[in-house]
Amino acid sequence: MCGIAGLVRFNGLRPDERATGAVMAATLSHRGPDDQGLYHDTCASLGHARLSIIDLDTGHQPLSNEDGSVWVVFNGEIYNHVALADQLQARGHTLRTHCDTEVIVHLYEDHGEAFVEHLNGMFAIALWDARRRKIVLVRDRLGVKPLYWHHDGHRLVFGSELKALLAAGNLDPRTDPRAVVDYLTFGHVPAPRTIFENLHKLEPGFLAVGTASGITLRRYWDIPIGNADNGPLSPGEADRWQAEFAALFEDAVRIRLMADVPLGAFLSGGVDSSAVVAAMKRRGASPLLTHTVGFDEHDHDERGPARVVADHLATDHHEVLVRPDAAWAARFLARHFDEPFGDSSAVPTYYLSRVARERVKVALAGDGGDEMLAGYRRYRFDLAEAALRSVCPAWLRRPAAGLAGWLYPKGDWLPRPLRAKRTLQNLACDDATAHLRSVALHAGTLPTLLLRPEVLDLTGGYDPFTRGRDLFAGYPAPDQLGRLLYLDMKTLLPDDMLTKVDRASMAVGLEVRVPLLDYRLVELAARMPARLKLDGSRGKVVLRDIVAGWLGTQVADRPKKGFDVPVHGWFRGPLRQLAADTLADPHSRCHEWLQPAAVRRLLNEHQRGFATHGHVLWTMLAFELWARQYAGTSAAPSPSAIAQSRSVGAAAPVMPMGVPA
């Protein structure tokens, strides 16, 4: 893993821009602490910060082809690079290293921009074709690795994180009011937008080609359309699908075991991470190093289930009870995300990464299974709601359900079957909007509740659900579940889950690999009959059945449990003072955007126990801490300016986790 950055001025670099790539890459040293590299010519300055994983001695970047006409900086891993190198050499190419980076430039020589179609891996790539004065930016199919870019008509800057773009200078970044609405709706800013106007995320499965004529964006891969036959499975059909999925999953794990440094895995005891570790065992990983963090709060402690799997597989298991310094963690993470990020599970993800990094440099993880194979409970609720919508005409359903939903009490204190407010409100919506409401914070109502009226005016009536509805409508899956999974694979997975893992792990120089997101598995899962993903209340059916054969039903049927922290309690304890010093401070930066009275009301209701607003408060705290990172710069969020411009066998150690030694 690495950090990449660069600047291209198609009519020629200014003298002071030749080292800009290195200046930008220096901001990414946490992603690549092992080596720094720079290449520049008359038009391009490419920088690289390297985390050495494969071919430790000769994998320096930037790297070129034989005659130096094509240069590349690359973040990630190409898992099929050995086979690709053999094919390239058979066609007459000369390769000077054994690293995966070198195959990229030679594939480009043979295939042009279609080189990316030959890659199996996680990657963000910037390839400079010096003869043609053309830059090609590419992001992997599922969005495991990030890539940001900006083009002002004369120069293009790019980087693995926004901080690299800002280091290029002369950007004058301004906060996008629509991105603030997105953030308060989803807890993150969805691609292709960033929190800053005119700074963009390259979407997963896309490439961007830049020349003197401008920038062209093109999708090179998408999730295939599913199987139209969703009737009863024929005899033996489920077994055939399961065998194919298991074989491909083991191969996805096998190719991700390639490394010249210590390698291990995250293990929570859930079905996804347990499947990954079991497959590592089956593919001969030795030693098999696994890592788990636990918390004092029982509901947030995964050490017990993880230990069951570790004992079964005889792994070299390492567990730590962590007592996070929540206030320090909140500030630390704000520095690493570069834009507001409201998913509090970034905290345990960071601590798990930090614990694993003490023993390994690469860790395999189980991310992606829920979105690919319908692991979240909400899918069955969404399908039930969709069935109800289908039997009631919209002209009757929308006003009746809408009024009933408005009148029905919120009732968090009621038994779950009686908490019908959101269901009634969802019945008044179309299928896509209802699903988006189910993944949104506060059902997507926070912008209206919190934003100042003048900020809402700046958005011009912007609807944060529009992109999701377009994605949903544009994917002609033969079944409703297929469309829901597609939507989450395109939004929630890359913009929240994978962003969280990338920033939290790269903050400590740890490479995380996600075999469940091998694109071949994703394509296979998309073609599977829906009932092999969700059957009644049982999600991830095909994977659970595989794990039952490997580890038994106790592991296979363990209920879904989120990787979460006790954020509600934190705001009544360790975060109470920080919240008072930030959210309740009359001089808070967020008050330029949010209504101070609304912020204080939510904080007071929560801290007095009148309501539970922990996740909303975390979202606002993350926004405030992000804003303070940019105070005094042109990137400071000011709407007025916009208007005018953690070894089993012994007792697990307790680790108070604050500032690293």
Q: Report, as residue numbers or ranges, the catalytic residues.
A: 2
Per-position b or e across 503-528, b if 16+ CB within 10 A of its CB: bbbbbbbbbbbbbbbbbebbebbbeb
HSE (CB half, 13 Å, CA atoms) of 632? 2
Strands 538-539 vs 2-9: parallel, antiparallel or unpaired: unpaired
Tell me the C-alpha to C-alpha distance, in Å, between residue 61 and each of 73, 140, 156, 263.
Answer: 6, 19, 20, 23
Q: Would you state the structure tokens that stand for residue 656, as one six-digit string?
A: 């108070």
Name every residue whose Cβ is closer than 8 Å to that of residue 204 and which is 6 or more positions away in sequence.
139, 140, 141, 142, 143, 191, 490, 494
Query: For 319-345, b where at least 16 C-beta lie within 10 A, e where not — what string?
Result: bbbbebbbbebbbbbbebbbbbbbbbb
Q: If we measure between CA atoms, which residue out of 169, 156, 96 comes closest to residue 126? A: 156
- By residue count, the chain amounts to 661
The residue among 431, 341, 447, 333 whose CA lies nearest residue 383 is: 431
Q: Which are the contacts of 222, defined by CB distance < 8 A and separation ≥ 6?
A: 205
What is the rounded distance in angstroms from the CA atom of residue 285 to the CA atom of residue 325?
A: 34
Burial 355-375 (b: 16+ CB within 10 A, else e): bbbebbbbbbbbbbbbbbbbb
Q: What type of residue is 327?
A: A
Phi/psi zone of residue 328: left (φ > 0), alpha (ψ -120 to 50 degrees), beta? alpha
Q: Which residues contact 415 (CB under 8 A, 6 or more apart)?
A: none
Please choose, from the candidates 648, 502, 639, the residue with its C-alpha nearest in 3D space to the C-alpha of residue 122.
502
Distance CA 77, CA 250 (A): 18
Cα Rg for the chain, rounded, in angstroms? 25
623 Cβ neighbours under 8 A, 6+ residues apart: 180, 183, 184, 340, 342, 590, 593, 594
Q: Among candidates 560, 410, 449, 468, which has minimal Cα distance to 423?
A: 410
Q: Sign of the CA dihedral 549, 536, 245, 559?
A: negative
Count of alpha carbons within 13 angstroms of residue 350, beta-carbon side:
28
Distance CA 603, CA 608 (A): 9
Token pair for 23:
């200046």
Which residue from 574, 592, 597, 580 is spatially nearest to 628, judged by alpha carbons?
592
**CB distance 216 to 149 below 8 Å:** no
| Encoded tokens for 313 | 């597989």
Read off the DSSP letter of residue 139.
E
Residue 136: CB atoms within 10 Å:
21
Residue 147: CA count within 13 A, CB half-sphere: 33
